Amino acid sequence: MEKGYIHIYTGNGKGKTTAALGLSVRAACAGKKVFMGQFIKGMEYSELKLPEYFPNIVIEQFGRGCFIRNKPTPEDSEAAKKGYERGLAILESGEYDVVIFDEIFIGLFFELFTEEDIIKLIDKKPVQTELILTGRKATQNLIDRADLVTEMKEIKHYYQKGVIARKGIEF
């Protein structure tokens, strides 16, 4: 790729991480190197097995668990900061054709880093690198900086009927 673009997948609907994972598989099948850094997440998700099938995909988690219903602890904040620094170094290295920062906007919402931190990531993106940012609550300023923005809108979801997250579908 001569020019990589900035994607944002946001909104309250399901599918933001799934869309990023789909793009990563497509890129890997085209011979591209992919890095996915998952903020907030520190639990066992099925997608963590993706590198077993696609050695040109690397996934790292920058979280200690999922604290969405609680406030982040100082340890969560430290993990996010370390993840941010790792992600910035990965992006600046230019080693990967596609870089995904999953749930980065939730990290912003919980003030684990600032909007300026995310702008720095965008500004440091090598020209040829495709950058994908996911999570609910993307700010308008960040949306304005992106080249492609998709909002996942929840219309209906079976969890409203009490269906819990299912392995291989939601995690």
**pLDDT one-digit tens code per residue, 87-145:** 999 999 999 999 999 999 999 999 999 999 999 999 999 999 999 999 999 999 999 99
Residue 170 lies in a domain: no
Closest CA to 99 of 6, 161, 16: 6
The pLDDT score that the predictor gives to residue 40 is: 84
Residue 168 lies in a domain: no
Q: Please give the angle made by the CA atoms of 79, 80 and 81, to the nearest 5 degrees.
A: 90
Report the alpha-carbon distance of residue 32 to residue 11 in Å, rounded.
Answer: 28
122 and 94 in contact (C-beta within 8 Å)?
no
Residue 166 lies in a domain: no
Residue 73 lies in a domain: yes
Report the alpha-carbon distance of residue 149 to residue 111 in Å, rounded.
Answer: 22
The pLDDT score that the predictor gives to residue 171 is: 85
Residue 59 lies in a domain: yes
* Total domains present in the chain: 1
Higher pLDDT, 66 or 44: 44
Residue 86 lies in a domain: yes
Least confident among 10-19, 80-89, 160-169: 160-169
Other C-beta atoms within 10 Å of 41: how many? 22
**Could you tell me the pLDDT band of residue 76, with boundaries at 50, 70 and 90?**
confident
Residue 141 lies in a domain: yes
CATH number at residue 134: 3.40.50.300
Residue 50 lies in a domain: yes
**pLDDT one-digit tens code per residue, 4-59:** 999 999 999 999 999 999 999 999 999 999 999 999 876 788 899 999 999 999 99
DSSP state for residue 57 in the 8-state scheme: E
Which structural domain, as residue segments, surrounds residue 67? Answer: 6-161
The pLDDT score that the predictor gives to residue 68 is: 62
**Could you tell me the pLDDT band of residue 70, with boundaries at 50, 70 and 90?**
confident
